[in-house]
Amino acid sequence: MNNHSSVAESASANRASANRAAVTTGASSATAAAADAAKVTEPAAAPPANQDALNTKTLKQIFQLSPIGMTILDLDGRFLSANQSFCDAVGYAEYELIALSFKDLTHPEDVPLLCSLGEQLLAGKRQHFQIETRHWSKDEKPLHVGLTVTMVRDGYQRPICFLLQVINLTAQKWMEAQLRHRAFYDGLTGLANRALFVNRLEQAVIRLERNTSAQCAVLFLDLDRFKVINDSLGHNIGDKLLSALAGRLEACIRRCDTLARLGGDEFAILLEDIDGLEDAIMVCDRIHNSLKTPFKLDKYEVFANISIGVVCSSVGYEESSDLLRNADTALYRAKAQGGACHTIFDQTMHQRAVALWQMATQAQFAVQREELTLHYQPVIDISNRRVLGVEALIRWNHPQYGAISPGEFIPVMEETGVITMIGKWVLREACQQICQWQQQLPHHDPIKLNVNLSARQLAQKDLAEQVNTILKETGLAHKHLRLEITETAIMQNLVEAIKVLQELRALDVCLCIDDFGIGYSSLSRLQQLPIDILKIDRSFVQNIGAKGENTEIVRTIIDLANSLGMDIVAEGVETEAQLEGLRALGCQNVQGFYFAKPMTPDIALEFIKKSNQ
């Protein structure tokens, strides 16, 4: 028994090797060895000649021709014989295997279990076992096999050898791994997908329940103006941007953190085992700093900004879905603040978001209750600092929530479609106001009116008819109205947009492209559009100054407008340096806080009187 136990140890280790070898070995040698052992140990009468032939030659032939890998191991786990199928799988010739043990071909992590099962075979606790094991071939390629090990005994039930039968599962395991990868990883970036991220977040929340002192954070990220890049430069460049962005985001986090692409241009980060909210904010800062350098994508250099919503588990959550929802809510607030920033979630945000959606669906009542008002920001002629016109900007003063930022309620109204009704009210109200001012300022040049059109409004086939009706009702001259449309709104459906713009232009209404410069397609397609004025986006104006950043971009836009016979208005002027920089570039008209913030009608009128004396 002691002898058997020492044999069992080596056999179990060798059985690990047997598992490897069994991937392609035949069963002929096993049969022959078993038959020979039986002859030596069994004193029974000699079998008939035909029976002896079956036990040797025929069985050896079956062993060698078997498509299933088979091999014979001695009680120490060393190879005695192997069929051709086994040899093909492991890459060894049979004579090479004789010098090895099965353990030599087996993954170290699988050896202990094989040894344990081998001991059970030697002890007679079982006759055979089946298991999946890992091995290496001669050229170091990994093999996964389904292994069946049988204990061969003589007539006195003494163990003789191990018979191993092996089915190669390597291709099957590879396919399973591919399917798992596709199920849990994003095909474009290679990052975790939404399913895997949610799973890891759920596990993190469970761990937090067990360790109340631990904290985690979720960052919800969204590319600013990605649709403009996608539509203007093409989806191929958009995909390359997402892949490159994934690399930069990975460089901003630890290996233990999880970065996922949830879909489109949305990403999420799970930060585990953090000390507090400060750690999450540091990650946000690293991300924003990493985006200061442009992405080089084919022949383009593309700048990208990200809005981030942050939520920390220290607030206390029962469900992982709460973390995701609240991070998304914080992201929405970051977007409303202009993007390229991060916002920390607080409990009032969710209540406000729910209320905002409820208010958006009842926006018509806000008009009836006079909760909506218009403020006016002047457009200034640099040469004499006189007011040429004003831009009408909507404000919502809710009786319960107070002043609501347009960046919050306009996107919601846009999505729900309420913006079309609100847009008509804005146009009518503003036209009436300008007509009133013109009557109060009979000796001044007529004030022009700028009104923004949303993408929903631009998609209305009867938009030109609506505008014409309102101008007739209010009495405002057509040439005094300037309708502002963003590049993004135009690019959502370029063909239809051009048609509507041509109809508006036929009314003798001036058309402006708002936030010009942030869309990449307009430079090449601008000539297709019946546009009178370009409004340079504030992001370019902000960097004109002593250091001269973006000066050449603004110069190019101004030269382009001049060559096409268009006027220019620079938005977001806040400093004297910006004003002088624009003056030097030949920009005539500006708009921004340097001169005036949006004002109520009464204050705006006084400003106009004072400026235009």
What digits encode the pLDDT tens for the residues 387-436?
Answer: 999 999 999 988 877 888 888 788 778 877 888 989 999 999 999 999 99
Same domain assignment for residues 105 and 42? yes
What average pLDDT does the structure give for the chain?
85
Q: Is residue 174, in this structure, part of any structural domain at all?
A: no
What digits encode the pLDDT tens for the residues 469-514?
Answer: 999 999 999 999 999 998 878 877 778 889 999 999 999 999 999 9
Distance of CA 296 to the CA centre of its chain: 19
Helix (H, G, I), strand (E, B), or coil: what is residue 273? coil
What's the pLDDT at 2? 37
Closest CA to 296 of 344, 248, 254: 248
Same domain assignment for residues 165 and 200? no
What digits encode the pLDDT tens for the residues 97-134?
Answer: 999 999 999 999 999 999 999 999 999 999 999 999 99
What digits encode the pLDDT tens for the residues 7-58?
Answer: 333 333 443 343 333 333 333 444 444 444 434 334 444 455 455 545 677 7
Same domain assignment for residues 105 and 213? no
Q: What is the CATH number of the domain that holds 438?
A: 3.20.20.450
pLDDT of 209 above 90: no
The number of domains in the chain is 3
Q: Is residue 180, in this structure, part of any structural domain at all?
A: no
What's the pLDDT at 547? 56
What's the pLDDT at 502? 94
Q: Could you tell me whether strands 306-312 and 342-344 are parallel, antiparallel, or unpaired per DSSP bridges? A: parallel
Same domain assignment for residues 312 and 363? no
What digits encode the pLDDT tens for the residues 325-375?
Answer: 999 999 988 987 878 899 999 888 877 777 767 776 667 678 778 889 999
Q: Is residue 529, in this structure, part of any structural domain at all?
A: yes
What's the pLDDT at 152? 93
What's the pLDDT at 21? 36
What does the block give as tokens for 452?
A: 């923004």
Domain end (from 307, 325, 345): 345
DSSP assignment of 460-478: -TTHHHHHHHHHHHHT--G
pLDDT of 461 above 80: yes
What's the pLDDT at 26? 37
Q: Is residue 451, in this structure, part of any structural domain at all?
A: yes
What's the pLDDT at 314? 66
Taking residues 431-455, what's their average pLDDT? 93
Q: Is residue 487, in this structure, part of any structural domain at all?
A: yes
Same domain assignment for residues 463 and 375? yes
How far from each other are the two terminal CA atoms of the chain, in whole angstroms? 116
Same domain assignment for residues 257 and 332? yes
CB-based contacts of 73, cutoff 8 Å, min separation 6: 11, 14, 15, 17, 18, 21, 79, 80, 101, 102, 161, 162, 164
Residue with tokens 């220290």: 314
Out of 293-307, 341-355, 541-555, pick the least confident: 541-555
Same domain assignment for residues 337 and 361? no
Neighbours of 322 (CB within 10 A): 17
What's the pLDDT at 519? 57
Same domain assignment for residues 255 and 327? yes
Q: What is the CATH number of the domain that holds 54?
A: 3.30.450.20
Rounded Cα distance between 352 and 367, Å, is 20
Q: Which domain range does residue 48 map to?
A: 2-169
Same domain assignment for residues 483 and 459? yes
pTM of the model: 0.52
Q: Are the CB atoms for 8 and 73 separated by under 8 Å? A: no
The larger pLDDT score, comparing residue 31 to residue 592, is at 592
Q: Is residue 124, in this structure, part of any structural domain at all?
A: yes
Q: Is residue 315, in this structure, part of any structural domain at all?
A: yes
Same domain assignment for residues 411 and 436? yes
What's the pLDDT at 48? 53
Q: What is the CATH number of the domain that holds 207?
A: 3.30.70.270
Rounded Cα distance between 325 and 388, Å, is 46
CB-based contacts of 435, cutoff 8 Å, min separation 6: 474, 475, 476
The larger pLDDT score, comparing residue 104 to residue 547, is at 104
Which strands, in side-by-side order, build the sheet including 216-223?
258-263, 266-272, 216-223, 306-312, 342-344
What's the pLDDT at 440? 92
Q: Is residue 351, in this structure, part of any structural domain at all?
A: no
Same domain assignment for residues 132 and 259? no
Angle between helices 463-474 and 494-505 (to 10 degrees): 30
What's the pLDDT at 52? 52
Q: Which helix (H) or strand (E) holds 322?
A: helix 320-336
Same domain assignment for residues 328 and 361? no
